Amino acid sequence: MKIKVHEVPEGGMQISLAGQAITIHSKSLIINEPIDGKLLVQKQGDRDLHIRGSLSTRILLECGRCLSSFGHPVKSEFYVDCTPMVKGPIRQEYRLSGEDLNLHFYQGDTVDVDEIIESQIHLETPMVPLCQTDCKGLCLVCGENLNEAPHVCIK
Ligand SMILES: [Zn+2]
Ligand SMILES: [Zn+2]
């Protein structure tokens, strides 16, 4: 989903995420449930947008211990300031110094909302996903999933 900056009315607009086609580029991010939520888009000056949003979905993760797949609920409330990408030393430096997730640079006249949503979901993704907090992992001897009791290891 894309927003044309010049088409945003002065009073702002609201976008419902339900039913929208949202393209996720990262192969490691598997969306398991349609993304729900809404965005409130407001214009700031001529070229900048302030987007306030909330989203909820479910992603598929692989447990870092037992390697089983599990659904992980994601809920996020966020805001992002969108500003045109300007080539030049000052902006470039600005851009590199802060991987600022509340700042989104767009090209031309188009804000790619999917990119914003994708990075917000990434933020909510645990670094080491666990299917359960006390996941027992895999047996070091036979490789069986130790959560599936009873485990009798045949050495
Ligand atoms: Zn696990
Ligand atoms: Zn075993």
From residue 77, give the alpha-carbon distance in Å to each of 40, 56, 86, 117, 121.
12, 9, 28, 11, 10
Buried b (16+ CB within 10 A) or exposed e, 61-72: bebebbeeebeb
Calculate how far, in angstroms, residue 153's C-alpha sits from the geometric centre of ligand 2.
4
Ligand nearest to the CA of 61: 1
Convert the pLDDT of each residue in 100-137 to its tens digit.
668 899 999 999 999 999 999 999 999 899 999 999 99
Q: What is the mean predicted confidence (pLDDT) over 63-86?
A: 94
- Smallest-distance ligand from the CA of 151: 2
136 Cα: distance to centroid of ligand 2 (angstroms): 12
Report whether pLDDT(144) > 50.
yes
Task: Please give the distance, rounded to the nearest whole angstrom, from the Cα atom of residue 64 to the centre of ligand 2.
Answer: 18
Instruction: Read off the pLDDT band of 150 (50, 70, 90).
Output: confident
Say what the pTM is: 0.83
